[in-house]
Amino acid sequence: MNRNNFLPHIALALVLILVAAFAGQLRRWQIQMKNRARIFPTADKRREPINNIESAPYDSRDSSAPEVLVKFKPGITEDAIEKITLGLHDRVEDEIESVPGLAAIDDLDDASAESVAAQYRALPDVEYAEPVFEISADDFSPSLVTPRDPRFSEQWALANDGSRGGTKGADISATTAWSVTTGSDKVVVAVLDSGVDYTHSDLASNIWVRPNSVKPYEDKELGTIQDLHGYNAIENSADPMDDNGHGTHCAGIIGAEGGNDIGIAGVNWKVQIMPLKFMNAGGYGTTKDAVEAINYVIDRKKAGVNVRVISASWGSTQKSRALEDVIRKAYETGILFVAASGNASTNNDRNPHYPSSYNVPNVISVAALDRNDQLASFSNYGVKSVAIAAPGVDILSTWLGDEYEEKSGTSMATPVVAGVAALVAAHDPKITVDELRTRLLASVDPLNSLKGKIASGGRINAAKALQ
Amino acid sequence: MTKEEAAEKARKDLAKRLGINESQVSERSVADTDFPDMALGAGAADEMSGQMITRGWKIQLEASGKTYEYRADKNQLRAYKFNGKNYKI
């Protein structure tokens, strides 16, 4: 370098350093101002967190990062958007030009992104609002997804906030699982029960409908059934409407439509429920009709319907060789069979309960837990014969007449496991029935209360099952 | 079926089973009970039932110095372990 050029270069470098330092100070002032706003929010604009559910990971990120994505309805001007956000003590961080009306919004209050999104969703000018989630391509970084179904907070099995004497976190970690998948309408779960109220507003869009590519059900002796959405083995008809409520309850646990602003969310927000009726209005049925209904499921699977799971919330102490044989046939066709362990408070290793005690590779026997991760007082158990446990006390789900009811039993724990199996099948469509069973049993949260009581010693964890 | 109707029906059934007059059957107690399943814990042979806790009534009747149990809810009435067997009425 020439000595004559040296001084101008030094001067230029100093100027650049000063400019950079000033810009940095400006940024610090900006953050300080923002933090002041967080510490001293105006009382009328302070937002209360909506619930106790732990907030998503964006809390740990840069405080200036946008926290919600809000889509305003067509025709809402930029000025109006500005006004709305200012009114909520927020600011528009960026407008997403490719989607008119979509804006990334940064809130200036100390509120969770979920509560901010909920506040925007309540506005008439807003089409949708959702929290910003971190997306990581190469590691599993759990975030929480909370559906906007109004009674979700009562579904302790999915997200236990510790209310009503429960234990926070004694749940199947559904909100974490849903950051991976909320289910798929390509997965079919057969609910073998008292039928399903397929007109229930929270179920109707998740009910299986036979595609045109699949021929109606034909049975040599029983004739042709124009099955539109399932089968009634009692009447040998195409109408599996529930006249008891039990099957509708189980169906809701597996797949009440999530995020639809109605009632509850199922373990799967999206799934296809195939209603099957073999139990009558009293809630009981014959082994013969159960066998007929399973035979129907196997036939549909062979015809190309992607049935992955049969959920069986029923049983007795009577052993039926025919029932065992048809469940084995379901295994050979690639269908998991999830069954209730029974409600007699007894040890199934000594007093078997069927079909859950059949020694067939696709059978998973399910015990019930209360909201404190304790084995339910009524639940059967068995370190050799009962595989896994799931929430089964005071479970809110769909009921007849477009209603919702809380019910208890291993009947309620069974569809929780069937639902998680469907989530796994949605995420990993090629998984085999053996792999699926192994995956579920390996993804439990071990519990002291289940040590020496059931084979896996734990409660199913949907998030772990999806890892 | 109401609780009273269930108790009355149970009395008639027991009298018939024992071959005695209805007046010889007395009602000992009728109590609200949670049963372990939808067959009210009294499943008959070749029967499968929903494994849901079911609210119903335990009806205890007395005849010829012996106590007999029936179980009922709005949908059904069952004789519980009558001579060792359960019966749907």
Structure confidence by residue, pLDDT tens digits, A381-425: 999 999 999 999 999 999 999 999 999 999 999 999 999 999 999
Higher pLDDT, A173 or A96: A173
Q: Grade residue B25 by pLDDT with cuts at 50, 70 and 90.
A: very high
How far does Cα A235 stand from its chain's mean position?
A: 33
pLDDT band, residue A331 (cuts 50/70/90): very high
Separation in Å, CA A349 to CA A384, A454, B42: 6, 10, 21
Q: Which of these is catalytic: A311, A411, A443, A456?
A: A411
pLDDT digits (tens, 9 = 90+) for A98-137: 577 888 888 887 677 777 888 888 898 998 887 775 543 3
For chain A, give every residue range classified as CATH 3.40.50.200: 174-465
pLDDT at A30 over 50: no
Average pLDDT of the residues of chain A: 86
From chain A, pick out residues whose CB is under 8 angstroms from the CB of B45.
Answer: 318
Give the integer Cα–Cα distance in Å for A127 and A102.
Answer: 9
| pLDDT at residue B87 greater than cutoff 90 | yes
* Residue A143 pLDDT greater than 90, yes or no: no
pLDDT at residue A40, rounded to an integer: 28
**Interface residue ranges in chain A relative to chain B, Cβ cutoff 8 Å:** 193-194, 244, 246, 249, 278-279, 281-288, 290, 313-318, 320, 340, 342-345, 378, 407-412, 414
The reply to whether residue A318 touches residue B45, judged by beta carbons under 8 angstroms, is yes
Domain A62-131 CATH assignment equals 3.30.70? yes
Give the whole-angstrom CA distance, residue B13 versus residue B7. 10
Q: Does the interface predicted TM-score (ipTM) exceed 0.85?
A: yes
Tell me, yes or no, if A411 is annotated catalytic.
Answer: yes
CA distance A88 to A73: 18
C-alpha dihedral, A265 to A270 to A271 to A274, nearest 10°: 60
Residue A259: partners with Cβ closer than 8 Å, 6 or more residues away: A147, A148, A149, A182, A265, A269
Chain B interface test: which of A286, A341, A343, A410 (most B C-beta within 10 Å): A343
State which residues form the domain around B16. Answer: 3-88
Beta pairing, strands A126-131 & A68-72: antiparallel
Q: What's the CA angle centered on A377, arms A373 and A379, to 5 degrees?
A: 85
- pLDDT at res. A129: 82
Helix residue spans in A256-385 (DSSP H)? 287-302, 321-332
- Work out the pLDDT band at A257, boundaries 50, 70, 90: very high
Judged by CB atoms closer than 8 Å, whether chains meet at B51 and A284 is answered as no
| pLDDT band at residue A348 using 50, 70 and 90 as cut-offs | very high
Query: What pLDDT score was predicted for residue A49?
Result: 31
Residues of chain B whose beta carbon is less than 8 angstroms from a beta carbon of chain A are 36-39, 41, 43, 45-54, 75-76
User: Which chain B positions have a beta carbon within 8 Å of A284's beta carbon?
Assistant: 38-39, 43, 47-50
Higher pLDDT, A144 or A217: A217
Give the max Cα distance, chain A. 106
Question: Domain count of chain B?
Answer: 1
How is domain A174-465 classified at the architecture level of CATH? 3-Layer(aba) Sandwich (3.40)
Query: Does the active-site annotation cover A427?
Result: no
Q: Name which of B46, B50, B54 is nearest A314 (Cβ-Cβ).
A: B50
The percent of residues above 90 in pLDDT, for chain A, comes to 69
Cα B35 to Cα A341, A374, B39, B43: the distances in Å are 16, 20, 8, 11
CA closest to B37 among chain A residues: A343
Residue A17 has pLDDT above 70, yes or no: no
**pTM for the model:** 0.75
A385 noted as active-site residue: no
Q: Where, residue-wise, is CATH 3.30.70 in chain A?
A: 62-131
Q: How confident is the model at residue A64 (pLDDT cuts 50, 70, 90)?
A: low
Percent with pLDDT over 70 in chain A: 83
